[in-house]
Amino acid sequence: MAEKPLFTQRYKAYVLLVLTGVYTFNFIDRQILVIIQESIKGELGLSDTQLGLLTGFAFAVFYVTLGLPIARFADKNNRRNVVAASLAIWSGMTAISGTVGNFLQLLLARVGVGVGEAGGSPPAHSMISDYFPSHQRATALSIYSVGIYVGILAGYSIGGWIDATYGWRMAFYALGIPGIIYALLLLFTVKEPPKGHSDKKVLATSPVKNDHSSTSPIEALEGKSTEPAEASFWEVVRTLMSKKTFVYIAVGSGFLTFGNYGVGNFFAPFLARVHGMPIQDIGVALGLTTGFGGIIGTFAGGFLADKFGQKDLRYYMWVPMIAGVINLPFSYYAFFGTNITYVLVTYFFTALLTALYLGPCIAVTHNLVGAKKRALASAIYFLFLNFIGLGLGPVIIGMISDALTPTYGNDSLKYAFTSTWFTGTVSLFCYYMATKTYREEALVKKVVKVKTASGSNDMATVLNIVLGVFLLFIVALFFLQMGLAGTSVMSMATWILAVVGVFFAGGVYYTAKGVLSGE
């Protein structure tokens, strides 16, 4: 007899949708400064180094350090309440950013945003891992991570238009205040799942063997952890640091996001200085390239890792490795190309390919620790990712750009961007090394999948609801952008990106739906 689930399929989809919305606000508030920074630079008289500090290090240092104690607190308490409170704090600090009058005041406001956002993702990751079993976890976490690029899409396009129409201060107000209201929706409609809920259907525990048995490695990872139920902060740190797989993927992700944040945080000024694009057109262009590309790449990374990882766990590292190699020619033209249409198209593929890593890497991290330690594990993973990537990427790119400005003028940024090719190579090496250790270090469990009372597949229903809503949102936002920006952006690049994005997203969605429904 089929086991009756604690949460219905639709409710799980709703929770995932709401949490993805939280992550959307996370990146709206984090990245709004990126699209309006040229206006702020002109009014407050800032340098590229100062802009790098504001968009990177000042935020990251508090985000990653406070993320650890907050995550530890969340592992022991109600995670939903932690996420709701954090959302209200960072949204409020975003609105306050519109009142500043100098660099120091804006720096302190951005620190406040970092403090709030420190309590967002690690508890949310832990909740998602309790709603979804391990063979679906990378896909679910990737859907959640799509919020990064939905937030970038909305923040860039709407923020750029508000800046051009009403000024940069109004952009902070308009995009910060709604997050406070959304925090109430989360607080009163989302339930806190029991810790370890998705890991309880255990029939046996055995090591994963490199043989030809019918049980897949992902199925083997399901079940109750053999680690102690409670562990101190430093015990969790020692557990993770003792696993070579975690060290490799954490450092590799940090060097990968050095390029993501370093280039991403300065690509708006790059388009303005090198290609002469106005701010409202830049907002639409980056919303489409980074938004569409990142959304597709983030979901595809988790889906592909879950699909092929059932045959070989190393696909969780092979997926971002292969994407990194393919990205090299696209990034070259995005930096040095002269035709703006092709620059934007190649940057779209760069955004897509460099987004495939997140879902698989978070899933790997969660498969190295017990259920009650996942929020803290996510925070430690994010410490590496954000300290190296967000903390150092923008500020070092800004410093290199300032140093090259006397020689190259407005072209200094394109040469500063080339430093990311070195960091990208380091990340590929780290992911390669992780493939050598993950199968031995993963938590190994064996479980018989239990269908719901209706006999239907949970993840197929979740995909139907969540991705359907987001596809409609993206199409609606695209047409809104067209109306806001006017005819000047109705260019070949815009339509190429729109058509490719919609059809690619639709193809991934229906492929995933068909595969998962047949599991």
DSSP for 269-310, please give it: HHHHHHH---HHHHHHHHIIIIIIHHHHHHHHHHHHHHHHHT
Residues 6+ positions from 224 with CB-CB distance below 8 Å: 196, 199, 200, 202, 371, 445
Q: Which residue has better confidence, 468 or 285?
A: 285
**Does residue 210 lie within any of the structural domains?**
no
Average pLDDT of the chain, as a whole number: 79
Q: Which residue has better confidence, 120 or 197?
A: 120
**Does residue 217 lie within any of the structural domains?**
no
* pLDDT above 50 (res 223): no
pLDDT (0 to 100) of residue 335: 94
**Does residue 483 lie within any of the structural domains?**
yes
For the chain, what percent of residues have pLDDT higher than 90? 30
Whether 314 and 372 have beta carbons less than 8 Å apart is answered as: no
DSSP 204: B
Best-predicted range by mean pLDDT (29-33, 230-234, 243-247, 515-519): 243-247
Q: 228-275, pLDDT tens digit by residue?
A: 555 677 888 888 999 999 999 999 999 999 999 899 888 988 998 899
Total number of domains in the chain: 1
C-alpha radius of gyration, the chain, whole number: 22
**Does residue 456 lie within any of the structural domains?**
yes
Full domain range(s) for residue 26: 9-205+235-517
Closest of 54, 59, 132, 63 to residue 100, by C-alpha: 54
pLDDT (0 to 100) of residue 474: 53
pLDDT (0 to 100) of residue 221: 45
Size of the chain, expressed as the number of residues it contains: 519
Count of H-run helices and E-run strands, the chain: 24, 0
Residues 6+ positions from 105 with CB-CB distance below 8 Å: 99
Mean pLDDT of 212-223: 45
Side chain identity at 291, as an amino acid letter? G
Closest of 319, 285, 289 to residue 304, by C-alpha: 319
Of 21-35, 85-99, 129-143, 221-235, least confident by mean pLDDT is: 221-235
**Does residue 152 lie within any of the structural domains?**
yes
Token reading at 169: 């201060």
**Does residue 276 lie within any of the structural domains?**
yes
pTM reported for the whole predicted model:
0.71
* pLDDT above 50 (res 336): yes
pLDDT (0 to 100) of residue 430: 95
Phi, psi of 202 (to 5 degrees): -105, 125
pLDDT (0 to 100) of residue 49: 81
Give 472's pLDDT tier (boundaries 50, 70, 90). low
Check which CATH number belongs to the domain holding 374 and give it: 1.20.1250.20
* pLDDT above 80 (res 344): yes
**Does residue 507 lie within any of the structural domains?**
yes
Whether 269 and 145 have beta carbons less than 8 Å apart is answered as: no
**Does residue 481 lie within any of the structural domains?**
yes
